[in-house]
């Protein structure tokens, strides 16, 4: 034990140990003087112990070495943590001396009382109300945050928080359940909110539609993919089965209005005409939301186009089942996450990119498509959207503004993994003659047949990757 520790832990506080001059520094002499004054009823202020000494090598450590200081404090804390019943558990009198009925701490067998007050004085902590000094309980200290507090990483689909646009009963909820079985689905009133829910760690994933086999692309989500920094980690294709829903007892000939999402209204336009319904079409935020609106407001002249599950949830009857114009009506959803997944080559993968060019003419677009064609890479989709930051470009060289046309961003999906050398070489070539190129994600393809019905009771088995969609 160091000389300083021996001085602090003396068996009798009124007996000064023999400490040689080199070991007893100015800081240690002050501490020993404090101990002696403490025993004679002249307590010192706590701040005097922590007053810095210019000669101290480490300010605030009383001139002793850092190793000795830590060893002494650890020993004092262990002595102060002795069981109840010791003299250290009794409060001090206002003058700083122990109560008269209590023996002096140095009369204890192990001196726990004196060590307890000394360690409390060193820590500078005063017990509220009692006027006594005490250590901070270890159990009250804050627990350090772990990665589990910020981003739980459960097994695939095991209570994974998945955001979707709509209300319970929406097709997006069914897509989230198909992509991540047994997940905790989080409804959002807008597509933008679903993106932000993942960015703000409210949700772990988002499942959002990007295209339908009848209605085409959902352009809003293509724009949001570019605006936000989320990554596509999978896709899921969901067969859509529309139903005409109304309040119980309502007949089709009494209807004057039909409400649903614009995509659903477009997908059922011909069938509504064949049913002889002379009704107005009214767009709503989502299909299940339209069903909820009809039920909550008791609209007996209005029907909604939604799923059979929405009819069960909101107490509506099904007036007509399967009213989509095409029986093979499928919506493609993408699964979004904060981090990308590691691409692989042991199963079919798809990669989505977006690019723009600042050169005139169509040669750049031709070169991009040629980069894939020369490497035998199949393109599954190409989508153009107006350039938000530079929507108009002058055509003539005189720059007088006589002719203008739109600038576009191009979204491309192709069947190859980023782990494939062909895809890497193709993107390296494309980057040479484009002004902007971004990989939105490289993810497993959904190989489920389009004709297979969606079933919540028999979900497909999860893939090996926790972020991958189910496969057949």
Domains annotated for the chain, with CATH where assigned, are 3-140 (no CATH), 152-238+331-337+450-472 (3.40.190.10), 243-323 (3.40.190.10), 349-444 (3.30.70.260)
> Strand 379-386 relative to strand 408-414: parallel, antiparallel, unpaired?
antiparallel
* pLDDT at site 122: 43
* Over residues 249-254, mean pLDDT: 90
Confidence of residue 172 (pLDDT cuts 50, 70, 90): very high
Does pTM top 0.85 for this prediction?
no
- Contact in structure between 239 and 453 (CB atoms under 8 Å): yes
* pLDDT at site 263: 85
Tell me the torsion sign for CA atoms 41, 47, 49, 55: negative
Please name which of 163, 164, 156 lies closest in space to residue 180, comparing C-alpha atoms: 156
* pLDDT at site 30: 56
* pLDDT at site 404: 54
- Contact in structure between 80 and 88 (CB atoms under 8 Å): yes
Cα separation, 222 vs 209, in Å, equals 10
* pLDDT at site 435: 86
* Over residues 271-279, mean pLDDT: 89
Name the least confident of 317-326, 430-439, 452-461: 452-461
* pLDDT at site 147: 52
Per-residue pLDDT tens over the stretch 289-324: 999 999 999 999 999 999 999 999 999 999 999 999
CA distance from start to end of the chain: 70
3-class state of residue 34 by DSSP: helix
Per-residue pLDDT tens over the stretch 190-229: 999 999 999 999 999 999 999 988 888 999 999 999 999 9
Please name which of 170, 169, 224, 151 lies closest in space to residue 193, comparing C-alpha atoms: 224
* pLDDT at site 34: 52
- Contact in structure between 336 and 198 (CB atoms under 8 Å): yes
Residues with a known catalytic role: 331, 333
Per-residue pLDDT tens over the stretch 45-57: 444 444 445 445 4
Q: Residue 44 pLDDT > 60, yes or no?
A: no
* pLDDT at site 450: 55
Per-residue pLDDT tens over the stretch 364-382: 888 899 999 999 999 999 9
Confidence of residue 460 (pLDDT cuts 50, 70, 90): very low
Question: Left (φ > 0), alpha (ψ -120 to 50) or beta: where does 60 sit?
Answer: left
Q: How many beta carbons lie within 10 A of that of residue 253, not counting itself?
A: 8
């Amino acid at each position: 034990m160091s000389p300083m520790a021996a001085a602090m832990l003396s068996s009798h506080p009124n007996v000064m140990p023999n400490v040689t001059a080199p070991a007893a520094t100015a800081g240690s002499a002050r501490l020993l003087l404090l101990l002696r004054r403490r025993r004679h009823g002249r307590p010192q202020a706590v701040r005097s112990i922590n007053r810095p000494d210019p000669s101290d090598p480490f300010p605030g450590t009383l001139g002793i070495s850092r190793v000795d200081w830590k060893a002494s404090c650890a020993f004092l804390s262990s002595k102060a943590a002795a069981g109840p019943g010791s003299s250290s558990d009794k409060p001090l009198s206002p003058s700083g001396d122990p109560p008269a009925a209590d023996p002096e701490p140095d009369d204890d067998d192990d001196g726990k009382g004196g060590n307890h007050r000394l360690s409390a004085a060193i820590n500078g902590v005063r017990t509220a109300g009692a006027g006594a000094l005490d250590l901070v309980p270890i159990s009250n200290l804050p627990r350090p945050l772990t990665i589990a507090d910020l981003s739980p990483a459960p097994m695939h689909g095991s209570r994974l928080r998945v955001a979707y646009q709509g209300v319970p009963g929406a097709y997006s909820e069914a897509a989230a359940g198909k992509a991540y079985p047994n997940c905790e689905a989080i409804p959002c009133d807008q597509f933008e909110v679903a993106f932000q829910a993942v960015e703000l760690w409210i949700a772990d994933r988002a499942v959002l539609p990007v295209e339908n086999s009848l209605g085409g692309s959902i352009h809003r989500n293509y724009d949001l993919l570019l605006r936000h920094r989320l990554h596509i980690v999978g896709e899921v294709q969901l067969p859509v089965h529309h139903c005409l829903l109304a309040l119980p007892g309502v007949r089709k000939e009494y209807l004057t209005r039909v409400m649903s999402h614009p995509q659903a209204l477009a997908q059922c336009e011909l069938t509504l005409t064949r049913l002889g319904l002379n009704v107005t079409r009214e767009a709503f935020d989502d299909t299940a939301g339209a069903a909820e609106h009809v039920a909550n407001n008791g609209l007996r002249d209005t029907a909604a186009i939604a799923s059979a599950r929405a009819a069960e949830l909101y107490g509506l009857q099904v007036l007509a089942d399967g009213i989509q114009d095409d029986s093979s009506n499928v919506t493609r959803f993408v699964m979004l996450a904060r981090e990308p997944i590691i691409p692989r080559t042991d199963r079919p993968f798809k990669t989505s990119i977006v690019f723009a060019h600042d050169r005139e003419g169509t040669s750049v677009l031709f070169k991009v498509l040629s980069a894939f064609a020369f490497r035998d890479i199949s393109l599954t989709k190409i989508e153009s959207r107006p350039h938000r930051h530079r929507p108009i470009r002058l055509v003539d060289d005189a720059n007088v503004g006589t002719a203008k046309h739109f600038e576009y961003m191009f979204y491309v999906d192709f069947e190859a993994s980023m782990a494939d050398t062909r895809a890497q070489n193709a993107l390296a070539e494309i980057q040479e003659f484009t002004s902007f190129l971004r990989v939105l994600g490289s993810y497993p393809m959904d190989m489920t047949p389009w004709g297979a019905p969606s079933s919540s009771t028999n979900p497909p088995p999860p893939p090996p990757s926790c972020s991958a969609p189910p496969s057949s």
